[in-house]
Amino acid sequence: MNGGANTGTGHYGKAAPTGPLERVLLVWDAPNMDMSLGSLLGARPTSAYRPRFDAVGRWLLDLAGVEAEAEACVFTNVAPGSIETIRPWVEALRNVGFAVFAKPKTSEDSDVDDDMLAHIDLRTGEGRLRHVVVASGDGRAFKDPLEKLVEGGTDVTVIGFREYAGFALSSEVISFLDLEDMDGVFREPLPRVSLDTLPDEGAWLPPFRSLRSLLERR
């Protein structure tokens, strides 16, 4: 009796799965997401309002399930002189299980959109991409490519902030999930009162900056 042999069968004699698993891919547009969050808050986010990538990772694993491989990637620019500032964040992402694509910010037009699309194309070409999740509100870069993916049979979800994801909300084929609707992503509720979300009793919209800043801009 050969107890160590791999018979290639699972429980009750059924054939065990063979070959590579399907893939669920997350690509996170860090420059765009940071800009959207800053605009939403009207200021640089504090730690309470920064997304927790461990929670995003758990959400992605739930989406993939046991029958698919989950891959999470963050794409970011590195501005001159910012290496020591950004290094702890990059290392924290890698410790959580995210891959990081970092690109020098050599000009105002130096972004990571093309790099994100190239990675999606790479995974699509492998023939086992089941679901793509894009964290970005940049419809100009992503709307048409993502809708073509859906036409080819790949599920597509955009995650982000509803205030800046009009291209996904208006699409008939792209799914959208607000980042704040993911469990545990933010430590505190985001202060999201806007003209689009006014309660019946009205609400204050605080200034984005101090009135005294007018004196500094002369």
pLDDT, tens digit (0-9, with 9 covering 90-100), for 163-182: 899 999 999 999 999 999 99
Q: What is the mean pLDDT of residues 41-52?
A: 88
DSSP three-state, residue 166: helix
Who wins on pLDDT, 209 or 85?
Answer: 85
Task: Give just the sign of the alpha carbon dihedral 195, 199, 200, 203.
Answer: negative
Burial class, 48, CB count within 10 angstroms (exposed 0-12 / middle 13-18 / buried 19+): exposed
| Lowest model confidence (mean pLDDT) among 61-65, 126-130, 192-196, 200-204 | 192-196
Q: Does residue 79 surpass a pLDDT of 60?
A: yes
Contact 100, 93 (CB under 8 A): yes
Instruction: Identify how many contiguous H helices and E strands the chain contains and give both numbers.
Output: 7, 6
> Cα–Cα distances in Å, from 49 out to 24, 45, 57, 149, 208?
27, 6, 17, 32, 16
Which of 31, 24, 174, 177 has the alpha carbon at shortest distance from 113?
A: 31
Q: How far, in Å, CA of 205 to CA of 192, rounded? A: 10
Q: What is the mean pLDDT of residues 204-215?
A: 76
Average pLDDT, whole number, for the chain?
88
Q: What is the mean pLDDT of residues 54-82?
A: 96
Per DSSP, what are the bridge partners of residue 23? 69, 129
Neighbouring CB atoms inside 10 A of 169's CB total: 13
Q: Does residue 189 surpass a pLDDT of 70?
A: yes
* pTM across the whole model: 0.82
Q: Which of 15-19, 39-43, 61-65, 188-192 has the highest mean pLDDT?
A: 61-65
Residue entry with tokens 């597509």: 156
Neighbouring CB atoms inside 10 A of 80's CB total: 8
Q: How far, in Å, CA of 65 to CA of 110, rounded? A: 36
DSSP three-state, residue 72: strand
DSSP state of 188: S
Task: Give just the sign of the alpha carbon dihedral 136, 139, 141, 147.
Answer: positive
List the end-to-end C-alpha distance of the chain, in Å, as a whole number. 88
Q: Are strands 99-104 and 129-135 parallel, antiparallel or unpaired?
A: unpaired
* pLDDT level of residue 19 (50, 70, 90 thresholds): low
Q: How far, in Å, CA of 49 to CA of 189, rounded? A: 8
